[in-house]
Structure 1
Amino acid sequence: MSILIRPVITEKLSRIQEESGKVTFEVAQKANKPEIKAAVEATYPGVKVAKVNTMIMPSKPKGRFTRSGYQGGRTKTWKKAIVTLREGEIDFFEEV
């Protein structure tokens, strides 16, 4: 099971990353904070994690109108981890 699924990059999160050195990842639902910290430090060598905050993002209703009527459904719930890096850490998204 992979702990880190993908980095979450939005305009708001990019601003938070520049101002306070926090990066956001979508992580596995069953991952806990020590596992997330170890996965970030193993994936990005030279980066030290100061703090990890997690939250479960709820599912949202989605739907569309088709010729046969309304097709409704929901998105999946997912877990978001906001990782605070130590002071003076490098920006590891520069190479992306």
Structure 2
Amino acid sequence: MSKNFNPERLLQVLVAPQISEKATYIADKNEQVVFIVTPDATKPEVKAAVEMLFKVEVKSVQMANLKGKVKRAGRNIGRRSDIRKAFVCLKPGQEINFAEGGAA
């Protein structure tokens, strides 16, 4: 890690892991893990946070911004909040197991 990040900031960057059928397929096929991150998170911050929290080596990080859907309930129109996802590619042999609550 070439940059020094604030450890308190790194603890807030990762919001939650994305656990779905598609995320599981990506994890098995491409050795990637999907996280929901804060809207202002950067790739280096996400890489540093994953390496610090799960004690694994990260090869690369891809980011995606998802716009919230417009939803209606009768006359009322609302909108879900926007989210930002991080697709974290792990180096070969690395694994994160969420069932055990940490690195495997």
Length-normalised TM-score, structure 2: 0.81
Among 74, 82, 103, the residue aligned to 1:77: 82
C-alpha distance in 1 between matches for 2:57 and 2:42 = 17
3-state SS of paired residue (1:52): strand
Among 29, 36, 39, the residue aligned to 2:39: 29
- Give the superposition deviation at 1:63: 1.5
Give the structure with higher Rg (CA): 1
Aligned residue type for 1:22:
Q
The size of the alignment, in residue pairs, is 91
Report matched runs for 1:36-47 at 5 Å: 36-45=46-55, 47=56
C-alpha distance in 2 between matches for 1:4 and 1:10 = 17
Where structure 1 has 5 or more consecutive residues not aligned to the other structure, the ranges are: none
Aligned residue type for 2:90:
L
Over residues 50-79 of structure 1, what are the superposed CA-to-partner deviations in whole Å (9 max), with x where a residue is unaligned?
0000011012101213xxxx2210011111
Whose helix fraction is larger, Structure 1's or Structure 2's? 2
Greater RCO (Cα-Cα under 8 Å, separation 6 or more): 1
Residue in 2 aligned with 1:55? 64
C-alpha distance in 2 between matches for 1:87 and 1:42 = 18
Aligned residue type for 1:23:
V
Answer whether contact 1:8 1:24 (CA < 8 A) is retained: yes
